[in-house]
Structure 1
Amino acid sequence: MRLSVEPTTSPADYEFTHQIRVRFVETDAMGIVHHSNYLAYFEEARVAFLAHVGHPFTEWRDAGLESPVLESFVTYRQPLHFDDVITVHLSLATVTRATFQMAYLVTVGSDDERLAHATGVTVHGCTTNGGRPTRLPAWLAEMGTR
């Protein structure tokens, strides 16, 4: 197992936020967000983060690189419901030569009263478009040393 990050429930511990409105299609028969959708929320926030730092995922692909998910972990704390506006807090956590980890916190509420609904971690490798493992882009390795 590569997972080495323990995500916190404090929004102040995360460097980036992304808001998403829960769609009806993401809920199950009980009216709550199906557990599988949390990984999609993490992915949407991750793609927005990469664009925010000036390296959109399209740039990776144009350079012949991919960042497949090697592991993922989610702790479900409170259910999400249709039409909730969630904030996905994201932080680049651990970076090695060929992998990186991102920590996530999903909250609902205003800045002065945010309730943690989930935490999670994704571990990513770096491969060529052909699937061969390769080193991370230099800019990402540098971000991990800050």
Structure 2
Amino acid sequence: MRLSVEPSTSPADYDFTHQIRVRFVETDAMGIVHHSNYLAYFEETRVAFLAHVGHPFTEWREAGLESPVLESFVTYRQPLRFDDVISVHLALADVTRATFQMAYLITVGDTAHSTGVTVHGCITAATGRPTRLPPWLVAMGS
């Protein structure tokens, strides 16, 4: 297991925030957001973060790189519901030469609803073989 980050429940501990409105299609028969959608919220926020720091995911792809998810972890604290406006807070939490971890906190207002972590590697798109992270990402983690 590569996951080594304990995500905080304090929004102040995160560098980036992205808002998402919960769609009806994301809810289950109990009227709450299905657990699988939390990972999609993390992904949408991760893509927005990369664009925010000036390295959109399209740049990775143009450079022939991919950043597959190697591990993911989610703690569900309070249910999310249709039409909630959620804030997904993200922090680049741990960076090595070959992997990086991102921590997430989902809030509605002042209430923590979920925390999570994703662990990513870096591979070449052409061969699918592991490669080092881009230097700008390693520098951000320092």
Q: Normalised by the size of structure 2, how large is the TM-score? A: 0.99
Q: What is the deviation of 1:116?
A: 0.2
Partner of 1:103: 103
**Does residue 28 of the first structure (1) align with residue 14 of the second (2)?**
no
**Does residue 122 of the first structure (1) align with residue 118 of the second (2)?**
yes
Opposite residue 137 of structure 1, the aligned amino acid is: P
Partner of 2:71: 71
Q: Which consecutive unaligned segments of at least 5 residues does structure 1 have?
A: none
Partner of 1:80: 80
Opposite residue 18 of structure 1, the aligned amino acid is: H
- Where 2:94 maps in the other structure, the secondary structure is strand
**Does residue 136 of the first structure (1) align with residue 133 of the second (2)?**
yes
Q: Which consecutive unaligned segments of at least 5 residues does structure 2 have?
A: none
- Where 2:43 maps in the other structure, the secondary structure is helix
Partner of 1:90: 90
- Where 1:72 maps in the other structure, the secondary structure is strand
Q: CA RMSD in A?
A: 0.3
Q: What is the deviation of 1:108?
A: 0.1
Partner of 1:62: 62
Runs of at least 4 residues of structure 1 off by over 2 A? none
Partner of 1:12: 12
State how many pairs are aligned. 141
- Where 1:83 maps in the other structure, the secondary structure is coil
Identical residues among aligned pairs (%): 87
Partner of 2:41: 41
Q: What is the deviation of 1:40?
A: 0.1
Distance 1:62 1:85 in 2: 33
Opposite residue 122 of structure 1, the aligned amino acid is: T
Distance 1:98 1:41 in 2: 24
Opposite residue 85 of structure 2, the aligned amino acid is: V
Q: Normalised by the size of structure 1, how large is the TM-score? A: 0.96
Q: What is the deviation of 1:78?
A: 0.1
Opposite residue 115 of structure 2, the aligned amino acid is: T
Distance 2:138 2:35 in 1: 31
Distance 2:96 2:135 in 1: 11
Q: What is the deviation of 1:124?
A: 0.1
- Where 1:134 maps in the other structure, the secondary structure is coil
Opposite residue 17 of structure 1, the aligned amino acid is: T
Distance 1:72 1:131 in 2: 20
